[in-house]
Amino acid sequence: MTFERKVANVFRLTDENWMKHANPISVWTRYSVLPFIVIAFWSRTWIEWWCLVPGLVSVLWMFFNPILFDKPKSTKNWASKAVLGERVYLNRDNIPLPDHHTTALHNILNGISSVGLLLSIWSTIYYSVWGAVFGVMMAYLGKSWFLDRMVWLYEDMKTQNETYRDWEY
């Protein structure tokens, strides 16, 4: 079982829930999570322990966002294809990926996102505005580039697999 499949299980991404998560509104609104978490914990000086409330709401939003929206009217858009590509990627232990999609770039992009996340955390702890801004931007740059690679992966794989092809409507 791939690491990504384990993460998908944590988020309860069944076949139906994957399609809900493919709603572009779900994809774009998940971009709000990290900035809201940073702002929530940044506010600990002003609202003290109450900062945990918006922090917890942000974390809950991250977990429930993928299943809150309806299936998209169409999956013929970048955001939906990015999610479908993630689904293809996590299924790589069952259906192998083409060689040009098995490069280390996916790990590098996830590494960039992770470094950005860690910088955001450090900057929030030490109140570095520019560090927090740069960290969030770095995390989202890595994630967005990764998602763009997932669109490319989905476009390649839907021509080779009928199940994947049926996800596009």
pLDDT tens-digit map of 123-132:
999 999 999 9
Average pLDDT over residues 4-23: 86
- Give the chain's mean pLDDT: 94
Q: Could you tell me which residues come within 8 angstroms of residue 31 by beta carbon, excluding any fewer than 6 positions away?
A: 140
pLDDT 10s digits, 54-70: 999 999 999 999 899 99
Average pLDDT over residues 144-157: 97
Nearest to 148 by CA among 91, 79, 95, 99: 79
CB burial readout 129-160, b (16+ within 10 A) else e: eebbeebbebbbebbebbbebbbebbebbbee
**Neighbour count for residue 23 (Cβ, 10 Å):** 23
Q: Using the 8-state DSSP alphabet, how is residue 51 labeled?
A: G
Rounded to an integer, what is the distance from CA 81 to the centroid of its chain?
A: 13
Whether pLDDT at 11 is above 90: no
Q: Token match 């918006």: residue? A: 54
Tell me the whole-structure pTM to 2 decimals.
Answer: 0.89
Distance between CA atoms of 38 and 64, rounded to whole angstroms? 19
Whether pLDDT at 19 is above 90: yes
Distance between CA atoms of 157 and 84, rounded to whole angstroms? 10
